[in-house]
Chains A and B, each alone.
Chain A
Amino acid sequence: MADDEQSGASSDLAASIADTEGGTGCGTKGDARGDVLMADAEGDLGGTPIADTEGDSSAADGEKGGIGLDDGRQGGASFASGGRRESREDAVGSVRDGDADVRNARIWLQLDKLRPPKLVEPRKRKKKDRHARTRVAFFRYSYYDIAFKYFVEQVLDADFVSLPEPTKRTLERGTLNSNDFVCAPFKHILGDFIDALESGADVIVQFAGPCRLGYYGELQESILRDMGYEFEMLNFATLTGKPLADYIGVCKKKVNPDLSVPHGVRGMLAVFKMIECLDEANDYYLANAGFEVEAGSFDRALSAYHGAMRAAVTERDIADAQRNGLEAMKALPTAKPVDPVRVGIVGEYFTAADATSNLGVERKLLTMGVELHRMLNMTNRNLRYNEKNLRAGISDYVKFDMGPTSSMTIAAAKRYVDEGFDGVVHLKSSGCTPEIDCVPVLQRISREASVPMLFLSYDSQTSDTGLDTRLEAFYDMIARRKKVLL
């Protein structure tokens, strides 16, 4: 069995695997606003050629052309005469017009100068009524629909399509139309988009992606078009690193040509403020709702607060809603012991924060009477993210950035352990490579500090029986351990 040395070695191994992936795979650089496009080089997505720019392709063409069957310039010997060469190029031309598989295969081998194939074929757009307001929808992500709504209404000046609570059908259809191996967030988001399009959305927005999620926008657009939906996709992942003018240009083109830039910028700042407010209120909820005296009182207060936030229009509204909401929650009676059982939640960006994806882990733990903390939220991961600072605190374990939320997962776990938490719960979607890389490191932290950690993997399952068993056992264990040992 793994003793300390071996585990050190295994975490080093995990780290070095992450290193080799760093440039290509799920490993990423942090981005202050989170809408990072990560070129994912996994073969099944065919990422590599797409990531190539035209310049790269032509350079590669020059170098690699010789491998090809048909490149007259380098494979030259048999095509000495100009005339024959011309006819040869004609032949290439006919292949070029031929079926897409041949063309794509040729591009994959980089045999000629074609641009990489577009996942979504250009198509003729339906002429839309210039004066009709565009209906914009986001995917579901925890309580952030409130901020998304504000963004659509105040920044884009369009109508927001509010999605109802997700149902089993949402996930069923998301799963049905996804690749089986893709991670669960993709399936959830695709299901959300189908719901949104059926509710009459004209434009759907995708931005997610500190990992391969950032590439999912294009794939989801392609799938939805194949399913026959007509819509525009506002995919911020394609704009990463580009100047603000490009963002504005795309928003004008796809959503609202009359977009006011000064109003939009001001609205954007309010969106960021709103996200910080929402996360602050949620942190309070997580830390205290487990000790409510009257069952359901915190849930009601939180949902009233969300309602007020959802109705906010001005910065003043946001500030008022925040003040009232926090006051209302703080006024609720709680029976919190002096030294409550404290659990930290760490894990992958989507699964750890979205209750639908993690089958309501937080609510289940709160019901058991636990104080919860979760560093991972949009405020900490997107708005105030500083990967280097986070990593500096965990330099004993990590030498380089391993991926989208890896540094945060490890740093948060380390902080919880140092602060004497009773347990840490790690949530990830099944097959999430960056978070799998974190597991050996977390196991080492757990062993060194003797703090139990529970590792949970999610796919598109909907039965929570197994989850209940594991959570209940985890709680029994840490609660009893706290009582007797500590």
Chain B
Amino acid sequence: MTEAYLGIDTGSISTKGVVIDEDRTIVARSYLWTEGNPMQAARRVIEDLGSQIDHGAVQVQAVGTTGSARRLVGAMTDAAVVKNEITTHAVGTTYLHPDVRTIFEIGGQDSKIICVEGGIAVDYAMNTLCAAGTGAFLSSQAHRLGLEVEQFGDIALASKRPANIAARCTVFAESDLVHKIQMGYSREDIVAGLCKAVASNYLNNVGKGKKVAAPVVFQGGVSKNAGVVRAFEDALGMEVLVDADGHLMGAFGAALLAADAAPTAATKPFDFDVAEFEFKTREIECGKCTNHCEIICVYRDGEIIDAWGNRCEKGAVKTAR
């Protein structure tokens, strides 16, 4: 029986999960769409991972969760580590690429840059208000062009002269895009232009004021798009590495952190049975004062297991844990 650790990264668009063994190698991987239901998605990822490992030989000791639904999924899985996605990406990437200096990450709704020195994250930035130039933007434009976003990379690479598309704002980009389509630009050039726009938007906004040093590792869902990778390489004049498991790096980092977390009496082995429980959430409005905090309660088979959202002790909810 060897020890293993589970990491789940529940993002806005996709949910990722990995199981790593004692040697920190990935033994099971899963990647599914969140489809607006993080609990269901996490449950499907856990089922998927559970089917990939031999339960007789491998025992998951601890769970780490990350991504925007980390707390919710953390409550579901009784996670040992609930960590933000910036830290987990830095931890995961520096483990696989100890010499990395800059990490680009573009996901469904957010994008970040992490600067690394000597294997330690020393600076980071994250997009603030706007989702322009992220995976969601590319998906919506793919839909407009009648393409699947997965086809984007190959189509973009076929282009010789990428069209110029403003990516400062999704609204501007869309009108630019429509204009260029109607002008008769070829589809390859438009798609390549979109990829270029994503790269330049990223460098001008998230990467503003940050020094990009080689080697650069690019990850997140958008890193699977070869067109964007090439656009980055053209813009930076340096090679941009994309890991085969780049999209799983957050989950990998969470699993690493769970493995490093000192086991406490409270942590018990994880046995993939969450799939059998019924999880529900409910929002209640606290009426104890005039602020009316919205409190989220998480129930497992009707039993309340966690709650959050209250700003003061008055709104604290008694939970089974």
**What CA separation (Å) do A484 and B122 show in the bound complex?**
11
Within 8 A of A (CB), among B165-222: 203, 207-212
Contact A446 B123, CB 8 Å, known A469-B85, A485-B117? yes
Are B203 and A1 in contact, CB atoms less than 8 angstroms apart? Answer: yes
Are B87 and A452 in contact, CB atoms less than 8 angstroms apart? Answer: no
Within 8 A of B (CB), among A300-358: none
**What CA separation (Å) do A485 and B212 show in the bound complex?**
20
Question: Distance (Å) between the CB of B110 and the closest chain A CB?
Answer: 9
Are B236 and A472 in contact, CB atoms less than 8 angstroms apart? Answer: no
Question: Distance (Å) between the CB of B218 and the closest chain A CB?
Answer: 15
Q: How large is the interface on B (under 10, 10 to 19, 20 to 34, 35 or more residues)?
A: 20 to 34
**What CA separation (Å) do A465 and B308 show in the bound complex?**
11
Chain A binding surface SS class? helix
Q: Total number of A-B contacts with CB less than 8 angstroms?
A: 84
Question: Distance (Å) between the CB of A92 and the closest chain B CB?
Answer: 46
Are A477 and B122 in contact, CB atoms less than 8 angstroms apart? Answer: yes
Whether A481 is near chain B, meaning CB under 8 Å from some CB there, is: yes
Give the number of residues in A that approach B within 8 Å (Cβ atoms). Answer: 32
Looking across the interface, which residue of chain B has its beta carbon closest to that of A473? B86
Residues of B within 8 A of A58 (CB): none
Whether A74 is near chain B, meaning CB under 8 Å from some CB there, is: no
Whether B2 is near chain A, meaning CB under 8 Å from some CB there, is: no
Question: Distance (Å) between the CB of A485 and the closest chain B CB?
Answer: 6
Residues of A within 8 A of B129 (CB): 430, 457
CB contact between B121 and one of A164, A468, A477 (< 8 Å): that residue: A477
Are A167 and B292 in contact, CB atoms less than 8 angstroms apart? Answer: yes
Looking across the interface, which residue of chain A has its beta carbon closest to that of B114? A477
Looking across the interface, which residue of chain B has its beta carbon closest to that of A457? B128
Contact A447 B209, CB 8 Å, known A469-B84, A480-B121? yes
Residues of A within 8 A of B119 (CB): 484
Contact A2 B290, CB 8 Å, known A473-B86, A476-B87, A477-B122? no
Looking across the interface, which residue of chain B has its beta carbon closest to that of A440? B209
Whether A450 is near chain B, meaning CB under 8 Å from some CB there, is: yes
Whether A125 is near chain B, meaning CB under 8 Å from some CB there, is: no
* Proximity bits, B273-291, A CB within 8 Å = 1, else 0: 0000000000000000111
Chain B binding surface SS class? loop
* Proximity bits, A375-402, B CB within 8 Å = 1, else 0: 0000000000000000000000000000
Are B90 and A7 in contact, CB atoms less than 8 angstroms apart? Answer: no
Q: Of A164, A440, A473, A476, which is in contact with the most chain B CB atoms at under 10 Å from its CB?
A: A473
Whether A3 is near chain B, meaning CB under 8 Å from some CB there, is: yes
Are B84 and A480 in contact, CB atoms less than 8 angstroms apart? Answer: no
Are B87 and A477 in contact, CB atoms less than 8 angstroms apart? Answer: yes
Are A473 and B84 in contact, CB atoms less than 8 angstroms apart? Answer: yes
Whether A130 is near chain B, meaning CB under 8 Å from some CB there, is: no
Whether B131 is near chain A, meaning CB under 8 Å from some CB there, is: no
Q: Of B84, B126, B209, which is in contact with the most chain A CB atoms at under 10 Å from its CB?
A: B209
Whether A419 is near chain B, meaning CB under 8 Å from some CB there, is: no
**What CA separation (Å) do A168 and B119 show in the bound complex?**
43
Whether A28 is near chain B, meaning CB under 8 Å from some CB there, is: no
* Proximity bits, B89-117, A CB within 8 Å = 1, else 0: 01000000000000000000000000001
Which residues of A pack against B, CB within 8 Å? 1-3, 7, 164-165, 167-169, 430, 439-440, 443, 446-447, 450, 452, 455, 457, 465, 468-470, 472-474, 476-477, 480-481, 484-485
Provide a sorted-by-A list of 6 A–B residue pairs whose CB atoms are within 8 angstroms: A472-B83, A472-B84, A473-B85, A473-B87, A474-B124, A485-B120
Other contacts beyond A165-B291, A457-B128: 17, CB < 8 A: A1-B236, A165-B289, A167-B292, A169-B290, A430-B129, A447-B211, A452-B123, A457-B129, A469-B85, A472-B84, A473-B85, A473-B86, A473-B124, A477-B87, A477-B122, A477-B123, A485-B117
